[in-house]
């Protein structure tokens, strides 16, 4: 069964976004293997890499140590989120000019339903081309796009178009387009599912589409039918206009060496609370739930959460709630050395805070000043002295 409807769904994705932005300010890196990571130490993780680095097997989410083994000649750079943020905002502003139905899927990608926009901007493929042209002219980097009848196929099409390309899948051609593609290119198929399917002789998406639904349901339960439908290019998920991809805001720090100093751990937590508060202020949001994440060697991860009575947005309040969670969780684990520490907020809502008795706006003014410095010069521009400790400053991711 083919998908129903016209090919009006776009998926637009910035090509190797962080790397592209680094090359924009360091043109001498063009053509070289470049890796951008959330920390350059042995515990850092690759955020993205250039296509030249990918040729050596480097991939996103790979440990930096492994990436260095695969491609020792690569240029390794620490992520600079404050530098990337304006470009991301400009990208999403461009998308909003072509349709009211835009659903961000991250800082560097989004879905659009352009049905009804043709009278203003032309056919969907022309709209995709116009968007890509504006990204190149206004942001200075390239984007790839896929056009089809649904989100699923458009996502695969934009991946197939990379780098700097456009792929259009006409209505009725969804299954044929997907059939020859490797199984892992189908969204939502992870390593375990792929391994199980390969055990059934499935290596291409077309192989999956050819399996009887009864065989898939026997192996995967109700998920089996969904796998079959996706392999045929069927997806009924609508583009959700105005959907906010940021359901939570968090910061994490992975220490170069396991940290056991109580004061330094609290200082790092304090710095994270300030950065989360700045992110909330930029978005005009507050959060009802404060979360904590602790990781002990080797990979024992603990999470905690609390929901105070009132929404929180100031660094002092966020830190107080996170510190309480930290003290209790750390004590429960014998105050063992910490490998990773992180905090965040969830259940976000529009910011509407009333002053408490005796409270002034001085804290807000200070938060704006600190946030402005970090927005302009990066997170490392201003830190609490205790965050520096006696070792190299840990990387934020």
Query: Residue 240 corresponds to which tokens in the numbers above?
Result: 């959700």
Q: What angle do CA 390, 316, 264 make, to 5 degrees?
A: 15
Query: Helix 213-220 to helix 191-198 angle, to the nearest 10 degrees?
Result: 130
Q: What angle do CA 61, 65, 71 make, to 5 degrees?
A: 90
Cross-strand bridge partners of residue 344: 250, 291
Please give the torsion angle defined by the CA atoms of residues 64, 66, 72 and 76, in that order, rounded to the nearest 10 degrees. -10
Can you say whether the dihedral through the CA atoms of 20, 86, 383, 296 is positive or negative? negative
Q: What angle do CA 295, 375, 26 make, to 5 degrees?
A: 90
Q: What is the SS3 assignment for 302?
A: strand
- Look at residues 259, 275, 12, 244 and name the one whose alpha carbon lies nearest to residue 125: 12
- 8 A C-beta contact, residue 167 and residue 147: yes
| Interacting residues of 378 by C-beta distance below 8 A, sequence separation 6+ | 80, 82, 83
- Rounded CA separation 163/182 (Å): 18
Can you say whether the dihedral through the CA atoms of 260, 266, 270, 272 is positive or negative? positive
Q: Residue written as tokens 């680094």?
A: 22
- 8 A C-beta contact, residue 67 and residue 74: yes
- Strand pairing of 285-296 and 300-306? antiparallel
Catalytic residues: 109
- Strand pairing of 285-296 and 75-78? unpaired
- Strand pairing of 75-78 and 109-113? unpaired
């Amino acid at each position: 069964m083919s998908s129903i409807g016209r090919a009006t769904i776009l998926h637009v994705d910035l090509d190797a976004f962080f790397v592209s932005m680094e090359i924009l300010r360091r043109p001498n890196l063009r053509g070289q293997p470049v890796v951008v990571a959330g920390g350059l130490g042995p515990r850092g993780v690759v955020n993205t890499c250039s296509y030249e680095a990918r040729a050596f097997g480097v991939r996103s989410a790979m440990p930096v140590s492994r990436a260095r083994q695969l491609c020792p000649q690569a240029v390794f750079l620490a992520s600079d989120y404050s530098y990337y943020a304006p470009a991301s905002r400009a990208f999403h502003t461009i998308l909003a000019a072509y349709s009211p139905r835009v659903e961000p899927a991250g800082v560097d990608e989004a879905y659009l339903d352009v049905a009804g926009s043709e009278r203003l901007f032309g056919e969907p493929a022309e709209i995709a081309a116009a968007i890509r042209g504006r990204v190149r002219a206004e942001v200075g980097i390239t984007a790839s796009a896929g056009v089809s009848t649904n989100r699923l196929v458009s996502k695969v099409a934009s991946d197939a178009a990379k780098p700097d390309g456009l792929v259009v899948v006409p209505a009725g051609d969804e299954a044929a387009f997907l059939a020859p593609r490797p199984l892992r290119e189908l969204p939502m198929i992870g390593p375990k599912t792929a391994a199980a399917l390969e055990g059934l002789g499935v290596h291409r998406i077309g192989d999956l589409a050819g399996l009887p639904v009864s065989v898939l349901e026997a192996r995967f339960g109700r998920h089996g039918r969904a796998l079959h439908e996706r392999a045929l290019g069927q997806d009924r998920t609508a583009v959700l206009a105005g959907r906010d991809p940021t359901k939570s805001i968090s910061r994490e720090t992975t220490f170069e060496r396991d940290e056991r100093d109580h004061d330094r751990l609290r200082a790092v937590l304090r710095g994270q609370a300030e950065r989360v508060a700045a992110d909330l202020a930029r978005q005009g949001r507050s959060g009802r739930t404060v979360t904590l994440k602790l990781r002990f060697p080797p990979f024992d991860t603990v999470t905690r959460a609390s929901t105070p009575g009132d929404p929180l947005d100031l660094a002092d309040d966020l830190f107080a709630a996170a510190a309480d969670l930290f003290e209790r969780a750390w004590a429960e684990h014998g105050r063992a050395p910490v490998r990773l520490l992180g905090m965040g907020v969830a259940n976000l809502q529009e910011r509407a805070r009333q002053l408490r008795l005796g409270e002034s706006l001085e804290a807000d003014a200070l938060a704006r000043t600190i946030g402005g410095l970090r927005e302009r010069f990066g997170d490392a521009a201003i830190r609490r002295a205790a965050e520096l400790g006696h070792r190299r400053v840990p990387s934020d991711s």
